[in-house]
Amino acid sequence: MTQSIFSWLDERLGLTAIYNTVLDRKVPKVNWWFTLGSASLFLGLLQGITGMLLSVYYVPTPDHAYDSITFIMNGVQFGWLIRGLHHWGASLLILTAFIHLLRVFFYGAYKYPREFTWFTGVILLFGALGMGFTGYLLPWNQRSYWATTVGTEIAGTVPVVGDFILRVLRGGTDLSAVTLSRFFSLHIWIFPAVIIATVITHLYLVIRLGISNIPDKDS
Amino acid sequence: MKEEQKQEYKRKYEQAKQDGVKFWPDIIYKDLLMSFGLFILLVGLATFLGVTPQPKADPSDTSYIPRPEWYFLFLFEFLKFIPGKIEWVGTFLIPVLAVLALFALPFLDKNPLRYWKNRLAGISIMGVIVLGMVGLTIRSVITTPKQEEVPIADTIQEQIILGQEFYSVYCVECHGPDGEGGEIAGVEGLEGVVLKSISSRDEMYTRSDETLEAIVAYGQQDLGMPPNGLAYGGELKKAELEALVTFMRYTWDDRVDIPEDAAAARAIPEIKEGEVPSYEVHISRIAQRYCISCHRPGKENNEYLMGTYQEILTTGDNADNNMIAGNLDSYLIQCITGESIFDPETGEEIIQQMPPTKLMREQYIKIFEAWVLNGMPETAVEAELLTSEGQTE
Ligand code: HEM
């Protein structure tokens, strides 16, 4: 019975082919440093899940953002855990992605034929940093308000177009409800869309090219 | 890379694959173990460290020291080394070049070798950069001054208690301990002005929290009410204004019930027959509620401060007579019972009744009297000793 359901599905979905190319493939012997890419992926997924749960109660307006976070922490069952995971997960993700970059660098894994994988990786790193920067403002507390004030000020010092960038980021001359709503939409729509598309490319390349081997002394 | 080098690499890589393992289950197993370990770590961090509560954003509080996320700290620290005139070199030129270099690394690094000993130049450059980033981050953490801790009142109870304190200090002198208003006395510049009640139904039913916050922040400057918000030259931050309004709403609005524990925490304890009151438990709270608003530095009050035990006993133009242990003719007792004090030589009134607008409730006056009669004990322990002595006698 299960056998016939499986073959019915396999005939239409190509499950065996997926199994053969993705799971049942030979890879060189590697060490624990090679787990950091998938660890970043796991943390990214966890951020996605906890983020969606937070968005159920979070309200992106200056009047209510702070109170909605307070409510998540004190009033929602396990709200503290969800927010705690999202808060610490963000830091850990940056850390794992960065160490992943260092291991790729150390083993020269960015060289032929994996240049493009490196390229998408850099986009992912800045995507993660962008998520960190925009997410930091959302609780609308003193820390977030002043960090964002200074952060956007820095963008304002760019020659010629600095003032323009500052206005686009803040949606005006000062931090306001417009800024919060811009950062919120960057944080939940724009950055995630870019990151998801890039992660898919990244993983496709990793599977297509195979994971690199640990270089020996004469390579 | 030359064509033969590419072929050579491919050949070696195929060999490594042949000598290798299956992705499933060998690699997946390690990956899952790592992810699981990190998940446990995260749950631990969320449970035991949690997320430190921060006060609400307050654009008027410019004294706040900006603190970006830790992974941006190295950049902020780096900028401190760039002179202001060429700031854009640090904020724009160098970061942009660094990002471009990172993207273009596979093309900048033409060395076909991969083993680290064969790429010492590249490895050292990256090593220096990473160490520099770590060093700058550490330096930033060390050199950023600690933020002055502001009390954050998150629960309604905490807010009410905090708000009560602010109300006692900033508002009682004009509006009275219960917001009842009346004719102002003993306040410079507003002597004789009659205030409407701000705790009435009229007031509570027609003023929203936002309105009350705006009134307290800006004041009613044309009518004589001073501003209290930091943005308008007062002393209160946004979170503190909110606590004050929460206090007013929960104590005066008959449509909302004050939480029981908040009510208990702000109540002034009563004394039983024969019990000796102490500064710690009774007097400090009564003084806070009824007197501190005028009897703090910077107010007209004959230099009589009531912030601490020592101050109550030893300050004031008439310090010698204000508090005399065991003597109900102490000036303080006379004026809180409604008698004015006159200068023995000129016959002029030097102290009016206290509080000048309206006397306190009988029970609080009694507490003050019992306190003076028993020699003004400071702590609850001393008072208890005196109580039991009194009972054995
Ligand atoms: C959110 C961020 C990222 C995710 C989810 C991710 C995911 C992965 C995964 C699952 C692998 C398989 C091998 C391994 O786990 O080590 C991988 C390989 C790779 N990653 Fe990433 N990565 C991220 C960021 C980066 C960054 C920042 C870089 C460098 C700029 C990068 C460059 C590469 C390269 C070149 C490979 C191939 C390495 C090899 O074949 O040995 N990745 N990535």
CA closest to B43 among chain A residues? A85
- Under an 8 A CB cutoff, do B79 and A154 touch? yes
More confident residue, B186 or A15: A15
Distance in angstroms (rounded) separating the CA atoms of residues A99 and B147: 31
Atom of ligand 1 nearest to the CA of A205: 37
Question: Is residue B342 classed as helix, strand or coil in its secondary structure?
Answer: strand
Residue B230 reports pLDDT greater than 70: yes
Ramachandran angles phi, psi of A61, nearest 5°:
-130, 150
CB B245 within 8 A of CB B164: no
In sequence order, which residues have a C-beta less than 8 Å from that of residue A122 and are 6 or more positions away?
A: B99, B102, B103
Neighbours of A43 (CB within 10 A): 26
Element (H, E) at B156: helix B156-170
Q: Which of B161, B151, B169 is nearest to B264 (CA)?
A: B161
The per-residue DSSP string of B33-61 comes to HHHHHHHHHHHHIIIII-----PBP-TT-
User: A27 forms bridges with which residues in the sheet?
Assistant: B21
Closest CA to A209 of A123, A115, A124, A121: A115
Pick the residue from chain B with its C-alpha nearest to A106: B116
Instruction: Using an 8 Å CB-CB cutoff, list chain B residues near A84.
Output: 42, 45-47, 49-51
Residue found by looking up tokens 């490594």 in the block:
B16
List chain A domain ranges: 31-209
pLDDT band at A185 (very low <50, low <70, confident <90, very high): very high
pLDDT at B147 over 80: no
Confirm or reject contact between B29 and chain A (CB < 8 A): no
The helix (H) or strand (E) run that includes residue B350 is strand B349-351
Condensed to tens digits (0 to 9), the pLDDT of residues B292-348 reads 989 998 888 999 999 899 999 999 999 989 999 888 899 999 999 999 888 888 888
**What mean pLDDT do residues A159-166 have?**
91
Weakest mean pLDDT among A179-193, B9-23, B216-230, B340-354: B340-354
User: Mind listing the domains of chain B with CATH numbers?
Assistant: 65-149 (1.10.287), 156-266 (1.10.760.10), 279-388 (no CATH)
- Ligand 1, atom 5, lies closest to the CA of A41
Protein residue with its CA nearest to atom 17 in ligand 1: A37
Higher per-residue pLDDT: A5 or B263: A5
Dihedral class, residue A141 (left if φ above 0, else alpha if ψ from -120 to 50, else beta): beta
Share of chain A residues as helix, strand and coil, in percent rounded to the nearest 5: 75, 0, 25
- Best of A40, A116, A200 to mutate for ligand 1, by most ligand atoms within 8 A of CB? A40
Specify whether the CB–CB gap between B29 and A33 falls below 8 A: no
Name the nearest CA neighbour of A175 among A120, A114, A134.
A134
pLDDT at A8 over 90: yes
* Ligand 1 centroid distance, CA of B154 (Å): 42
pLDDT of residue B62: 81
Domain A31-209 in CATH 1.20.810.10: yes
Q: Sort residue B266 into left (φ over 0), alpha (ψ -120 to 50) or beta.
A: alpha
Of the listed ranges A66-80, A134-148, B112-126, B339-353, the one predicted with least confidence:
B339-353
Rounded Cα distance between A119 and A116, Å, is 5
Residue corresponding to tokens 């109550």: B312
Chain B interface, best mutation among A146, A163, A211, by max B CB count within 10 A:
A146
Tell me if A199 CB under 6 Å of ligand 1.
Answer: yes
* C-alpha B5: how far from chain center: 65
Rounded to whole angstroms, the Cα distance separating A101 from B305 reads: 64
ipTM for the whole complex: 0.95
Least Cα separation, residue A200 to chain B (angstroms)? 18
**pLDDT-derived band at B127, boundaries 50, 70, 90:** very high
Sign of the alpha-carbon dihedral angle for B173, B57, B265, B179: positive
Structure tokens at A185: 């939409």
pLDDT of residue B149: 65
Atom 35, ligand 1: residue with shortest CA distance? A118
Q: Do residues A120 and A104 lie in contact, with contact meaning Cβ atoms separated by under 8 Å?
A: no
The pLDDT score that the predictor gives to residue A82 is 97
The predicted model gives B345-365 an average pLDDT of 89
pLDDT of A160 higher than 80: yes
Q: Cβ–Cβ of B115/A218 closer than 8 Å?
A: yes
Indicate the average pLDDT of chain B. Answer: 90
Q: Are strands B21-22 and A26-27 parallel, antiparallel or unpaired?
A: antiparallel
Look at residue A115 and tell me whether its pLDDT is greater than 70: yes
CA A15 to ligand 1 centroid distance, Å = 25
The 10 Å CB-count burial string (b at 16+, else e) for B120-154 is: eebeeebeeeeeebeebbeebeeeeeebeeeebbe
- Chain A partners within 8 Å of B109 (Cβ): 110-111
Q: How far is the CA of A98 from the centre of ligand 1 (A)?
A: 10
> What was the pLDDT predicted at B343?
86
Does the beta-carbon distance from B16 to A157 stay under 8 Å? no
A121, A150, A148, A126: which is closest to A62 by C-alpha?
A148
- What are phi and psi for residue A27, nearest 5 degrees? -135, 155
Contact residues for B281 (Cβ-Cβ < 8 A; gap 6+): B269, B380, B383
Nearest CA to ligand 1 atom 11: A37
